[in-house]
Amino acid sequence: MAKPGAIAKAMGALKEDHLKALIKKAVKARASADDILAECRAGLGEVGERFNKGEYFISELMYAGEIMKDIMAALTPFLKKAPKAKAKAGAKHIVVGTVRGDIHDIGKDIVVLMLRGAGFEVTDLGVDVKPQQIVDAVKKTKAFMVGMSVFLTTCCKALEETAAALEQARLRDQVKIMIGGAAASDLVAQRTGCDSYGATAVDAVTLAHAAAAR
C-alpha cells in the first residue's frame, strides 16, 4: 500500500488524479478496501478543516464529495461484509430532505455528498418533503438521524410538524433531528423540537458522527 498518510494527504489536497493513482496502486498491492476508505475519510476531514479555516469553499466541498462518491463506487465490491449477526440495523443510516413547501436543494445536496463520503448511508428524499415521507423512510431504514434543510422562513413550521409526526409514530426516541439552511438556527431547532443545527455541511458530518457514537 502507499506510504501511510499519502492517500489522506492527496484527498485533503483534492489532487484527484494523484489520489486515484495511489488507490489503484494500493488495490494492486491487495491493501484492504476498508483501510483505503479510512484514509480517504481522514482526508475528507482535512477538507472540512480547510473549509472551516476559509481555505476551501462550497465548490471544494462539492468536489470532495464527488471524488468520494467515485471512490466508494470503485471500492464497494472489495469491502468486507460485516457478519449479519453483528450488524446493527440503521446504525449508519440518515434520512435527509428539504422540508415541505421548500424546493431549495443545493445545500442539501452538498450535505448528502459529504455524509456519504464520510461513510454514512443516506436516503435523500429530495425537496418539498412531507412529514409522513420522513416517517416512512425512518421506518424503512431504521435510521438513527434525520437531516432537514429549510431555506424559507415560511417553511419552518414544517420542521415542528415533522418532529411531531415522528413523535406520534413513536420514532422520536430512535432518531436525532439536525437542521440546516438559510432559515435555520440553534433557536429554530430549539423552538421546533429538533436536536441540533449545523451551519455548514462540515457541521452536519460532525453532528452525525457525534450522534452515531452515542
Contact 160, 180 (CB under 8 A): no
What are the strands of the beta sheet with 121-124, ordered from one edge? 121-124, 93-98, 145-149, 176-180, 196-197
DSSP string, the chain: -PPTTHHHHHHHTT-HHHHHHHHHHHHHTT--HHHHHHHHHHHHHHHHHHHHTTSS-HHHHHHHHHHHHHHHHHHGGGSPPPPTTT--TTTTEEEEEEBTT----HHHHHHHHHHHHTT-EEEE--SSB-HHHHHHHHHHHT-SEEEEE---GGGTHHHHHHHHHHHHTT-TTT-EEEEESTT--HHHHHHTT-SEE-SSHHHHHHHHHHHHT-
Reported confidence tier of residue 110, pLDDT bands at 50, 70, 90: confident
Reported confidence tier of residue 134, pLDDT bands at 50, 70, 90: very high
Interatomic CA distance for residues 195 and 197, integer angstroms: 7
Residue 110 is placed in which grid cell? 452538498
**Residue 80: per-residue pLDDT:** 60
Interatomic CA distance for residues 32 and 78, integer angstroms: 8
Reported confidence tier of residue 4, pLDDT bands at 50, 70, 90: low
Interatomic CA distance for residues 188 and 190, integer angstroms: 5
Reported confidence tier of residue 18, pLDDT bands at 50, 70, 90: very high
% of the chain beyond a pLDDT of 90: 62
Q: Which amino acid is at 23?
A: I
Interatomic CA distance for residues 114 and 205, integer angstroms: 7
Mean pLDDT of all residues in 61-69: 87
Q: Which domains does the chain have, with CATH numbers?
A: 6-78 (1.10.1240.10), 93-212 (3.40.50.280)
Entry field: residues in the chain: 214
The pTM of the full predicted model, rounded to 2 decimals, is: 0.75
Interatomic CA distance for residues 118 and 46, integer angstroms: 12
What is the tens place of the pLDDT at every residue in 93-102?
999 999 999 9
Mean pLDDT of all residues in 20-27: 93
β pairing state of 196-197 and 176-180: parallel
Residue 92 is placed in which grid cell? 449508519
